[in-house]
Amino acid sequence: MKNLLLVLMTFTIAFSAHGQDDTETLISGDIKSGGYGGPAVKIGQINGENGVFVGGQGGWIINHQFVLGGGGYGLTNDILIQGIDSPEDLYLNFGYGGLFLEYIIAPKRLIHFTVNSMIGAGGVSFRDKDYEGTDDYNNDSFFVLEPGVSAVLNLHKHVRITVGGNYRWISGVDMAGIGDSDLSGTTFEVRLKFGSF
């Protein structure tokens, strides 16, 4: 038994000493951390009309280039639902959010670029003009994938402004008068970032 323990300890020490310096990793060396948060506005097509989405995003910045965070957005203007037999006009309630991933290209430059994507879920329902929900029509949930690219201006050491474009891809909506393609579409986005970059 003692010999077995001695052999196991010898192998453990040998393997740990051998693997200390030759392990390849995606991120090596000291990890520098930062973070940001801030409001955002998106304007784009939804159900054949121009929608205005307000929300925000934030995240942990790893080594000035990788962002792991989250965000959420909600539709703020009236989008009329066509083709539904209803005694009153019905409007769209729409919101989504999820995990946000971003890669920052040349972050120290005054103007630089990012490639990003949001992966998450959301909900859609109908309401009347007085912002009350309707019991006559179902609501639904959906999956959302929203890749995008952005240009970033370093306004200050702790402030950035981002202008970009995204494509919102929706899957899983099955409601009267509206479907996935009606809720999917391109958006133009402006974001403010406050934090440590």
pLDDT score at 20: 55
- Token duo for residue 81: 């639902």
Q: From residue 108, give the alpha-carbon distance in Å to each of 40, 43, 146, 189, 196.
A: 22, 28, 26, 22, 13
Q: Is residue 99 situated within a structural domain?
A: yes
Q: Is residue 67 situated within a structural domain?
A: yes
Q: What is the pLDDT along the chain (197 residues), one digit of tens a residue?
A: 555 445 455 545 544 545 555 677 666 678 899 999 999 999 999 999 999 999 999 999 999 999 999 999 999 999 988 777 776 788 999 999 999 999 999 999 999 999 999 999 999 998 887 766 665 566 899 999 999 999 999 999 999 999 999 999 999 998 888 899 999 999 999 999 999 99
The pTM of this model reads 0.80
d(C-alpha 34, C-alpha 77), whole Å: 34
Strand ranges (DSSP E) for the chain? 33-46, 49-62, 66-75, 91-105, 111-127, 140-156, 159-171, 174-175, 178-179, 185-196
Q: Is residue 117 situated within a structural domain?
A: yes
pLDDT score at 7: 46
Q: Is residue 172 situated within a structural domain?
A: yes
Q: For 195, which DSSP code?
A: E
The CATH number linked to 166 is 2.40.160.20
pLDDT score at 192: 97
- Token duo for residue 116: 């990003």
Residue numbers of the domain that contains 33: 26-196
Tally the domains of the chain: 1
Q: Is residue 1 situated within a structural domain?
A: no
Q: Is residue 2 situated within a structural domain?
A: no
Q: Which amino acid is at 195?
A: G
Q: Is residue 16 situated within a structural domain?
A: no
**40 within 8 A of 71, measured Cβ to Cβ:** yes
pLDDT score at 26: 65
The pair phi, psi for residue 64, each rounded to 5°, is 65, 0
Q: Is residue 5 situated within a structural domain?
A: no
